[in-house]
Amino acid sequence: MLIPIIGALIGILIGWRLPFEIPVNLVKYTAIAILAALDAIMGGIRAQLGQKFLFSKFISSFFANTALAALLCYLGDLMGVDIYIGAVVAFSIRLFQNLSLIREELFDRFWWWRSGRSDKDM
Amino acid sequence: MKIKVRSWQWGIGLVAAVLGLLIVLQLRTELKIRAKLPTRQVNELAQILKNQQMRLAKYESEIATLRRQVSDYDRDREILRLKMAAGLTPLEGPGIRITLSDSEKKLKEYEDPVFYIVHYDQLELLINELWAAGAEAIAVNNYRLGSTTGFSCAGTTILVDTRRLAPPYIIEAIGDPANLKNALLMPGGFVEQQILSFNLKFIIETVDRLWLPAYKGSISFEHATAASEEGGN
């Protein structure tokens, strides 16, 4: 669990120190990108908990989701379609689903651990 | 198994780094925007802008109406002032009321009654005295004197403009009562010269609130036309 936290801290530090900022009119798309990234991370954790984690799949899904979400929203704005809203809704739903699944899984594990059974591979 | 553990931790670590970077960048920009703009949606801002524009338009039309009202008011006031000056509007104010009538003295055989009645020139003198003493408006027998009013006599009656006057002549003048009174009563003044020596009946009273009607005569300019201030040929 240490490496993700260190990674996040490093990212925050870099972001804090970076000399440039996101242009104001692109903030909307980076927000969607962040949502997509959060979704990807939750998906990854869930996959890990379900023993289905694949490094390449995770990394590719993260970057593709993030970039595609932002790009699609931009395209939608160009065409006058609010794909932005669709992306927010879709990512949010998945995010919450993943969160609840992760919570369930962790709860189950904790329960099993309390009942005396050893943890599988954490 | 070991590689798998590492791989997922590294992966999530990498992704967490990117996510942290993105979030911090986003926050920095967002905070900057919020420092500049109130945290409101574009639609809300547009609504506010629209409302303000509508209010602006409303205020502008209000200003226009008020300006018009002000100019109307100025014009009205100017007209009123001119009408007051020309005697075309009833006026009220403090002043004096003079009652002047023919002498009631029993005349002796040799005395000529002509000296014991009020003549138009006496009335004229009186009116002139009043103007000179600062009277602002004068009416004779409830007939207001205008800017072209003149006195004349036709036989035994006095005419003011074309209106016949009959004694007693009641002259009402708006002005400072003390001034008007003193102007008439001063030694060698109108009363001493014209009234006392002919024994005419004469009453001066101070009135707090006189009401004078508007000038009723005709105002027509057949020969005169308005000219510029400079004049000349």
Domain ranges of chain A: 2-17+24-113
Distance of CA A99 to the CA centre of its chain: 10
Q: Which of A105, A79, A34 is nearest to B16 (CA)?
A: A34
Closest B-chain CA to A47: B8
The pTM is what?
0.47
Question: Tens digit of pLDDT for each residue in A56-107?
Answer: 888 888 888 888 888 888 888 888 888 888 888 988 999 999 899 888 888 8
The more confident residue out of B186 and B5 is B186
Local confidence band at B232 (pLDDT 50, 70, 90 cut-offs): low
Local confidence band at B69 (pLDDT 50, 70, 90 cut-offs): very high
Interface-testing mutation among B5, B9, B15, with chain A (most A C-beta atoms within 10 A): B15
Helix (H) or strand (E) run with residue B94 in it: strand B91-101
Measured distance CA(A43)–CA(A58) in Å, rounded: 8
- Do B10 and A6 count as a contact with CB atoms less than 8 A apart? no
| B1 close to A (CB below 8 A) | yes
Local confidence band at B18 (pLDDT 50, 70, 90 cut-offs): confident
**Is the confidence metric ipTM above 0.85 for this complex?**
no
**Which residues in chain A are contacts of B19 at CB distance < 8 A?**
8, 11, 34, 37-38, 41
The answer to whether the CB of B203 falls within 8 A of the CB of B138 is: no
Burial of B36-48, coded b for 16+ CB within 10 Å and e otherwise, reads eeeeeeeeeeeee
Measured distance CA(B46)–CA(B211) in Å, rounded: 63
pLDDT at B62 over 90: yes
DSSP bridge pairs for B163? B160
- Do A53 and B4 count as a contact with CB atoms less than 8 A apart? yes
Q: Where do runs of H (alpha helix) occur along B37-152? A: 42-86, 120-132
The pLDDT value given to residue B3: 47
For the packed helices A27-49 and A83-114, what is the interaxial angle rounded to 10 degrees? 30
Three-state DSSP state, B97: strand
Q: What six digits make up the tokens of A43?
A: 């998906």
